[in-house]
Structure 1
């Protein structure tokens, strides 16, 4: 039997569930994730999403293993620039970031703040550490890749193969969030 995990926003109006194991549990240190995280967490009542290292915590799941159960009417997208290939979706009921989606991607990067305390899947790796400011230090508890590693891309490719090379559309986002 496949495990199902229920997640939600900080105020409890948005509910989703994920099925099975994640593709990978990571922290992203790229300039875009750090800039977007800094802007999103300035929203009223928004949870802190940047780690002390400046990284953003994500758990990646295949799109076909994520189900939105309630509250999608609160979803608004935020893009760093109008032409950005990534969108970050925020539950505006309490300004909880829900997911990051790459245009055409077959996975969602779910924000770590969705998991109740003590239930977040263990961190497996950090990516894009070369984007951190000079002098930044990271713990050596997991791999700290300067860029995305071959194994990272292999995990994404394996998930895409398992999905039959499909990339489901996420259509439950209702407008744009201006930051």
Structure 2
């Protein structure tokens, strides 16, 4: 039987259930993730989701293993620009970022702050460090990769194959400006 984990927004209104293990767990340092996190942190009551060295910790989960138990009506999308291929989705009940979805992706990148700290999955690498002007402030506790690797994409492909090449749609109730 597949293990189930429940996580949720800061106020507890929006709750998700995850089945099984994540595809991978990482910290992203791309310009897009850092810019979006900065803008979302400016929303009323929102907290900064970046680490001290400006990384966005997240775990990739297959869409078919995620279920919203409550609060789905609070979900709104944010895009860095109108034509952006990725969207960040927040729970507007408390302005908690919930996930990042890439256009056409079969997975969601769930932000690690949704887990209680003691149960939070541990990142195994940092990616997109090539977007940083200076990497000297990054900890040496895990690999600091300049870009996504072949192994990164191989894990995503293996998950898609296991899903039968399906791509479930995640619908939200509008947009948020940040």
Q: Does the CA contact (< 8 Å) of 1:47 and 1:113 recur in 2?
A: no
Are the counterparts in 1 of residues 129 and 135 from structure 2 also a CA contact under 8 Å? no
SS, match of residue 118 in structure 1? helix
* Shift in Å, 1:139: 1.4
User: Residue 123 of structure 1 aligns with which residue?
Assistant: 123
Q: What aligned pairs does 1:82-93 form with structure 2 within 5 A after superposition?
A: 82-93=82-93
Question: Offset of 1:53 from its aligned partner?
Answer: 1.1
Q: Distance in 1 between matches of 2:95 and 2:166?
A: 30
Partner of 2:35: 35
User: Corresponding residue for 2:11?
Assistant: 11
SS in 1 for 2:138: coil
- The gaps in structure 1 that reach 5 residues or longer are none
Look up the match of 2:142: 142
Unaligned runs of 5+ in 2: none
TM-score by length of 2: 0.97
Distance in 1 (CA, whole Å) between partners of 2:34 and 2:99 is: 15
1:135 Cα offset (Å): 5.0
Q: CA deviation at 1:2?
A: 1.1
* Residue 175 of structure 2 is aligned to residue 176 of structure 1: yes
Would the aligned equivalents of 2:28 and 2:56 in 1 still touch at CA under 8 Å? yes
**Whole-angstrom CA distance in 2 between matches of 1:111 and 1:47:** 12
CA displacement 1:56-111 (0-9 Å, x = unmatched): 01011000000011101111100000000000000010000000001110000001
Contact 1:58 1:110 (8 Å CA) reproduced: yes
- Give the C-alpha shift of residue 134 in structure 1: 2.4
Aligned length: 178
> In the alignment, which residue of structure 2 is the partner of 1:78?
78
The Cα of 1:149 is off from its aligned counterpart by 0.9
Specify the SS of the correspondent of 1:40. helix
- Structure 1: which 4+ aligned runs deviate by more than 6 Å? none
Alpha-carbon shift at residue 15 of structure 1 (Å): 0.7
**1:112 to 2:108 alignment:** no
Displacement of 1:47 = 2.1
